[in-house]
């Protein structure tokens, strides 16, 4: 087995995934020391969220004609302009929008779109071309080029997405920092770590295994001790997604040296009876976002935080025979933050009179331009080396 393949299959304990880099000294920072320390929270709406029923072209006759039973009516929306409206279940986002803290980027996609959940997710997570298969994610390559510790990118979940996997450093997947810490302090784990010696570390696969365990042990301690600095008293909804965002808020406000956070909300594959399922999920999403932003504002961290929401593709413009929508192509992306350069509706609305041959929206913004903007303008690193080519930067940050 190749060393790199071995690494990708090494998983220790429930709720954590790590790959090794050499142990470094852990540096604990107070929140006051993190002024200007920018971070990004990436949220994936998994399954292909219907962007047209999220940010709604309410005055467009084609939208209503092609969706006779699932098009939103005016009283089911929150007006943005005469032509555009939020889904009624996005009230917390509408409140942020009115404060100049939301940027809506329309028609986001890529050339020759793939309509498979798995393949399109891989494309978004690796920032690859449609015909290109990469084994590292764009965040993982950011870690490789700019970071020393796996905990500088954290996915709040029980498994690690491809987006956070690099060549030499992977991010960490952790759903509960206390459970992660307790697991690494169990006698069996501690005994193996305690008996690791240089000869073991110099071996190939076994050496990587031991280094992974040492890194796990050390990172678990750092995350556990640092995350105890701040436990939020902000009230969050009683949903798993909201709990994940609460964990992220605790990490940020406690001063964890993490630059990229990742979380997801699934269930958006709305082929049948879309209205109820999507509305319910958008409510879960928006209420959790509202609580997160309130928490970050209260602790003066919102100005240093960018929240990016995407889905692997949009839905077909025309509804299907089951009161749902099938897999589509271009979609909207939502950016939320306290330091947006251009808030509001960033670009032109979807052109429903010029669909592609499949009846899908045509993209006008390459999603990798958004990544390039985050990397170059927000995280201030060399975006072209991470994305393997140059993409035009946008001006929302």
CB 70 within 8 A of CB 319: yes
Write out the two tokens for 222.
Answer: 């750092």
Residue for token pair 């329309």: 106
**Could you give the CA distance from residue 258 to residue 219 in angstroms, rounded to a whole number?**
12
SS3 assignment, position 222: helix
Which tens digit of pLDDT belongs to each residue from 336-368? 999 999 999 999 999 999 999 999 999 999 999
Of 258, 18, 281, nearest to 159 by C-alpha is 18
- Label residue 61 by pLDDT band (50, 70, 90): very high
**Rg from Cα positions in the chain:** 21
Q: Is the pLDDT of residue 218 over 70?
A: no
- Least confidently predicted of 41-45, 186-190, 322-326: 186-190
Of 356, 310, 321, nearest to 43 by C-alpha is 310
Most distant CA atoms of the chain, gap in Å: 71
- Indicate the burial class of 194 (C-beta count within 10 angstroms; 0-12, 13-18, 19 or more): exposed
Which tens digit of pLDDT belongs to each residue from 311-341? 999 999 999 999 999 999 999 999 999 999 9
Q: Is the pLDDT of residue 27 over 50?
A: no
**Could you give the CA distance from residue 70 to residue 273 in angstroms, rounded to a whole number?**
9
CB 363 within 8 A of CB 330: yes
CB 257 within 8 A of CB 25: no
* The pLDDT of residue 11: 38
Which tens digit of pLDDT belongs to each residue from 256-273? 999 999 999 999 999 999
Of 211, 46, 16, 33, nearest to 120 by C-alpha is 46
* The pLDDT of residue 350: 97
**Could you give the CA distance from residue 327 to residue 312 in angstroms, rounded to a whole number?**
10
* The pLDDT of residue 290: 98
**Could you give the CA distance from residue 253 to residue 368 in angstroms, rounded to a whole number?**
29
Q: Is the pLDDT of residue 212 over 70?
A: no
- Label residue 14 by pLDDT band (50, 70, 90): very low
In DSSP notation, 23-80 reads --------GGGGTT--EEEEEEETTT--GGGTEE-TT-HHHHHH-TTTSPPGGGEEES
SS3 assignment, position 332: strand
The interaxial angle of helices 187-194 and 205-227, nearest 10 deg, is 120
For the chain, list the domains and their CATH numbers: 3-387 (3.40.720.10)
Residues in the chain: 397
**Could you give the CA distance from residue 359 to residue 352 in angstroms, rounded to a whole number?**
9
Q: Is the pLDDT of residue 168 over 90?
A: no
* The pLDDT of residue 220: 73
Of 322, 328, 337, nearest to 272 by C-alpha is 322
- Least confidently predicted of 20-29, 63-72, 86-95: 20-29
CB 127 within 8 A of CB 310: no
CA distances from 261 to 56, 170, 273, 310, 383 (A): 28, 13, 32, 14, 18
Q: Is the pLDDT of residue 283 over 50?
A: yes
- Least confidently predicted of 28-32, 58-62, 152-156, 191-195: 28-32
* Percent helix / strand / coil, the chain, rounded to 5: 40, 15, 45
- Label residue 13 by pLDDT band (50, 70, 90): very low
Q: Which residues contact 119 (CB under 8 A, 6 or more apart)?
A: none
Q: Is the pLDDT of residue 251 over 80?
A: yes
User: What's the chain's average pLDDT?
Assistant: 87
- Label residue 282 by pLDDT band (50, 70, 90): very high
Q: 32 versus 383: which is more confidently predicted?
A: 383
């Amino acid at each position: 087995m190749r060393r790199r393949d071995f690494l990708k299959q090494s998983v220790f304990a429930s709720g954590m995934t790590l790959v090794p880099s050499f142990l470094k000294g852990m540096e604990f920072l107070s929140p006051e020391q993190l002024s200007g320390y920018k971070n990004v929270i990436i949220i994936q709406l998994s399954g292909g969220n219907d962007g047209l029923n999220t940010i709604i072209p309410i005055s467009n006759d084609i939208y209503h004609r092609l969706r006779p039973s699932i098009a939103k009516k005016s009283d089911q929306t929150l007006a943005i302009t005469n032509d555009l409206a939020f889904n009624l279940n996005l009230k917390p986002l509408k409140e942020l929008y009115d404060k100049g803290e939301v940027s809506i980027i329309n028609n986001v996609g890529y050339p020759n779109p793939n309509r498979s959940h798995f393949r399109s997710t891989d494309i978004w997570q690796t920032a690859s071309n449609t015909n290109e298969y990469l084994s590292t994610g764009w965040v993982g390559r950011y870690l490789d080029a700019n970071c020393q510790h796996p905990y500088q990118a954290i996915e709040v979940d029980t498994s690690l997405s491809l987006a956070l996997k690099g060549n030499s450093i992977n991010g960490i997947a952790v759903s509960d920092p206390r459970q992660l810490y307790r697991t690494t302090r169990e006698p069996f784990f501690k005994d193996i770590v305690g008996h690791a010696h240089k000869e073991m570390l110099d071996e190939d696969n076994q050496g990587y295994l031991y280094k992974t365990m040492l890194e796990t042990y050390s990172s678990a301690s750092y995350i556990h001790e640092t995350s105890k600095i701040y436990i939020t008293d902000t009230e969050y909804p009683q949903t798993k997604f909201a709990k994940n965002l609460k964990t992220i808020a605790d990490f940020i406000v406690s001063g964890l040296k993490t630059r990229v956070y990742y979380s997801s909300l699934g269930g958006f594959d709305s082929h049948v009876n879309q209205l109820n399922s999507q509305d319910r999920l958008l409510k879960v999403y928006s209420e959790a976002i509202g609580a997160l932003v309130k928490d970050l504002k209260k602790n003066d961290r919102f100005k240093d935080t960018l929240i990016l929401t995407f889905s692997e593709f949009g839905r077909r413009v025309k509804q299907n025979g089951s009161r749902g929508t099938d897999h589509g192509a271009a979609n909207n992306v939502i950016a939320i933050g306290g330091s947006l350069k251009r808030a509001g509706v960033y670009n032109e609305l979807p052109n429903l009179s010029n669909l592609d041959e499949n009846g899908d929206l045509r993209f006008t913004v390459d999603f990798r331009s958004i990544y390039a903007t985050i990397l170059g303008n927000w995280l201030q690193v060399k975006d072209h080396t991470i994305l393997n080519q140059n993409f035009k930067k946008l001006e929302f940050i």
